[in-house]
Amino acid sequence: MNALLDIHPEVADALHHGRSVVALESTIISHGMPWPQNLETALRVEAAVREHGAVPATVAVMAGRLKAGLTHDDIESLARQGLTAPKVSRRDLPLLLAEAGTGATTVAATMIVAALAGIRIFATGGIGGVHRGAATSFDISADLQELARTSVAVVCAGAKAILDLKLTLEYLETQGVPVIGFGTDELPAFYSRASGLKVNRRLDTPEQIARVLHAKWQAGLQGGVVIANPIAPEHEIPRERIDGYIGQALREVQQQGVEGAAVTPFLLARVSELTGGASLAANIELVLANARLAARVAGALAALSADEARAARQAEAVEAAMQAQAALGA
């Protein structure tokens, strides 16, 4: 147990008994949506995880402690703080911990805390990636490097549509991160179901995905897996429509000199304005869908681990019986 980590009692009990747990990030609460939709969505996402048989573990840094599982008050506090809550990635964790600060964890930081707690499955909206224009800006999300080093699978609707999706896939390939399409041959484009870019493998059931995760980690292959879950057809925004709004928002980023960690929240908020709130509604729906799928994958993975443990116990019992019989024969 890490000395700086607090695991919520419900989460700890589930982990101890081999039940399925799904990690959830908190940046989406403070930076991804406005009040009060952020609080409502966070609670709905936790409820969706429960409805599909898993325990939710929303992750954050609270008063200098790594938290795997938040109380209602914790979630509401982050939601009310909004953009004033620090956005915490791997780089920021030691600074915030040393200062006993509070902050909302990105995909990268959530993966770190989940791994420390022993949680293998994480649901979010979209991962970070290679930003458009990265050839000159070198703006690449730390999420991608975390996926290469931390053994947590991330269920998402692909990378955020404001990014360069082709280069994001190239980076993941270089880092050896498998990209699985759930019921799709193409990488979802967040608000849209397809991007024209192929995933590494299409799998159609949570059980198939769980077997891949189990095989990867049993083989000692460290690092995460991207499980790309396309938004439902009734909630998607056509690519030709959303791309125009994203292009306009990107031009405004340059005109206004928005930089660093402020870029993504600015773009998401501006695209929401330009779409008349349609992008926010789509974002909420895809996060809920990802939470439901993550719970199902977590359940299938827990079942595989339980089967393996039972087989090991049976093998030990047979071996003990054979040794006892041999001793009697001697």
pLDDT at residue 265 greater than cutoff 90: no
User: Tell me, what DSSP letter sits at residue 21?
Assistant: E
pLDDT at residue 208 greater than cutoff 90: yes
Reported confidence tier of residue 330, pLDDT bands at 50, 70, 90: low
Q: Which of 27, 91, 103 is nearest to 63 (CA)?
A: 103
Report which secondary-structure segment, H or E, holds 103: strand 103-105
pLDDT at residue 329 greater than cutoff 70: no
Q: For residue 267, is it left (φ>0), alpha (ψ between -120 and 50) or beta?
A: alpha
Q: Which of 232, 120, 239 is nearest to 184 (CA)?
A: 232
* List of domains in the chain: 5-329 (3.40.1790.10)
Residue that wins the pLDDT comparison between 167 and 321: 167
pLDDT at residue 176 greater than cutoff 70: yes
Reported confidence tier of residue 160, pLDDT bands at 50, 70, 90: confident
Peptide bond into 206 cis (omega under 30): no
What is the pLDDT, as a whole number, of residue 264?
76
User: Tell me, what DSSP letter sits at residue 189?
Assistant: B
d(CA 150, CA 111): 7
Residue that wins the pLDDT comparison between 267 and 55: 55
What is the pLDDT, as a whole number, of residue 307?
64
Percent of the chain with pLDDT over 90: 78
Reported confidence tier of residue 9, pLDDT bands at 50, 70, 90: very high
pLDDT at residue 135 greater than cutoff 80: no
Q: What is the pLDDT of residues 272-318, one digit of tens each?
A: 899 999 999 999 999 999 999 999 999 999 999 876 766 666 777 77
- β-strands 121-123, 21-24: how paired? parallel
Report which secondary-structure segment, H or E, holds 181: strand 179-182
Q: What is the pLDDT of residues 222-234, one digit of tens each?
A: 999 999 999 999 9
Name the pTM for this structure. Answer: 0.91
Average pLDDT of the residues of the chain: 93
**Which positions are catalytic?**
25, 160
Mean pLDDT of 72-98: 96
CB 117 within 8 A of CB 153: no
Residue 106, amino acid: T
CA atoms within 13 A on the CB side of 225: 24
Reported confidence tier of residue 111, pLDDT bands at 50, 70, 90: very high
Tokens of 278: 């349609």
As beta bridge partners, residue 62 has 65
CA 81 to mean position of chain CA atoms: 22
Enumerate the H helices of the chain as residue ranges. 9-16, 27-30, 37-51, 72-81, 93-98, 107-117, 134-137, 142-149, 165-174, 206-218, 239-256, 263-274, 278-329
Residue pointed to by tokens 């980076």: 171
